[in-house]
Amino acid sequence: MSILILGGTGEARTLAAALDRRGIPATSSLAGRVSRPRLPAGQVRQGGFGGVDGLAAYLVENGVAAVIDATHPFAATISANAVAACARTGVPLLRYARPGWSGLPGADGWTWVADHQEAARAAAAPGERVFLSTGRQPLSHFTGPLAGHAVLVRVVDPVEEPLPAGWQVIERRGPYLLADERELLRSFRTTTLVTKDSGGDYTRPKLDAAAELGVRIVIVRRPEPASVGTASEPESVATLDEAVQWAVAASC
Ligand SMILES: NC(=O)c1ccc[n+]([C@@H]2O[C@H](COP(=O)([O-])OP(=O)(O)OC[C@H]3O[C@@H](n4cnc5c(N)ncnc54)[C@H](OP(=O)(O)O)[C@@H]3O)[C@@H](O)[C@H]2O)c1
């Protein structure tokens, strides 16, 4: 009987390492989207399960004792699938997610928006020079509204779709240092930073650099926590220690 960690985040890798050190059997699951992903310690599987049915079947066939959903706060589909599949199979589920950035100093002065379409509209004021750090997936929401703007896009893997002329792309993987973020924002003469409320320290320096340089911050709120049909929201923790304690109890 082992723990299934739904991963793809730094938190999930740290958790996998902590369980591995304690000899608690665990398998990390990655979506398989990123080329050359950083692999967690212990067993790893990659690729989608095939929706709720596929995940529920996986839990039963592999005798999974408990699931820890440590996916990114914006990976709403897999989190909802975990809620539904665990409710169906009776497998205990924990949500382990880093806190968001809404409590940071100055966050009240940022432009908080509901989704990427609204972020694109908010960033598209005339003359804005936009640093887009939302990742690759939501780019299509920005290409129309920001087609005529100077835009710097940062992604981990190459962008496959065509981007407007005048957009620049840098491929880089975090963590990012404050000094580098400051230099990046300054050298592009950035006036607006667009990000999502990923939370944590890993990608936070861009916010600190933007605040220092007086760059406007447009930030997409997190999706609502997953709850599907009658399945209630899972127990949720924000720290590694709490997640490890829960896993230890669940694996006894
Ligand atoms: N969204 C972000 O901003 C973001 C940022 C950094 C890292 N990530 C990581 O990247 C992965 C994909 O994110 P997403 O936003 O595309 O997810 P998503 O929209 O919630 O999920 C889409 C589909 O991808 C598959 N999937 C997602 N996470 C998986 C996992 N850990 N293991 C196996 N299958 C998974 C599932 O396919 P099936 O239905 O076939 O099971 C799911 O239905 C996640 O692991 C997430 O932690 C996401």
Q: Is 74 in the pocket of ligand 1 (CB under 6 A)?
A: yes
pLDDT value at 228 more than 70? no
Mutational pocket test of ligand 1: of 77, 81, 219, 224, the residue with most ligand atoms within 8 Å of the beta carbon: 77
- Chain-centroid distance of CA 203 in Å reads 10
Q: Is the CB of 210 under 6 A from ligand 1?
A: no
CA separation for the pair 46, 42 (Å, rounded):
13
Residue 3 predicted with pLDDT over 70? yes
Residue with CA at minimum distance from ligand 1 atom 25: 48
Distance between Cα 235 and ligand 1 center (Å)? 20
Given pLDDT bands bounded at 50, 70 and 90, which one contains residue 229? low
Cis omega (within 30 of 0) for bond into 105: no
For 106, left (φ over 0), alpha (ψ -120 to 50), or beta? left
The answer to whether the CB of 112 is under 6 A from ligand 1 is: no
- The CB of 31 under 6 Å from ligand 1? The reply is yes
Rg from Cα positions in the chain: 19
Relative to the CA of 54, which ligand 1 atom is closest?
41
Cα(96)–Cα(68) distance, rounded to whole angstroms? Answer: 7
Q: What is the mean pLDDT of residues 173-179?
A: 92
- Rounded Cα gap, residues 109 and 219, in angstroms: 11
The pLDDT tens digits for 135-166 are 999 999 999 999 999 999 999 999 999 999 98
Ligand 1, atom 14, residue with closest C-alpha: 75
Give pLDDT, residue 69: 98
What pTM does this model have? 0.92
How would residue 224 be classed by pLDDT, with cut points 50, 70 and 90?
confident
pLDDT at residue 175 in the model = 86
34-43, 95-104, 180-189: range with lowest mean pLDDT: 34-43
Q: Which residue has the tokens 């709720």?
A: 52
245 pLDDT more than 60:
yes
Structure confidence at residue 34 (pLDDT):
83
Residue nearest to atom 6 of ligand 1 (CA): 72
- Neighbouring residues of 51: CB distance < 8 A, sequence distance ≥ 6: 81
Calculate mean pLDDT across residues 201-206. Answer: 92
Q: Does ligand 1 come within 6 angstroms of the Cβ of 32?
A: no
Work out the average pLDDT over 81-110. Answer: 96
The pLDDT, as a whole number, for residue 33 is: 86
Distance separating alpha carbons of residues 137 and 124, to the nearest angstrom: 19
Atom of ligand 1 nearest to the CA of 7: 31
Asked if the model's pLDDT at residue 202 lies above 90, the reply is no
Write down the pLDDT at residue 1.
77
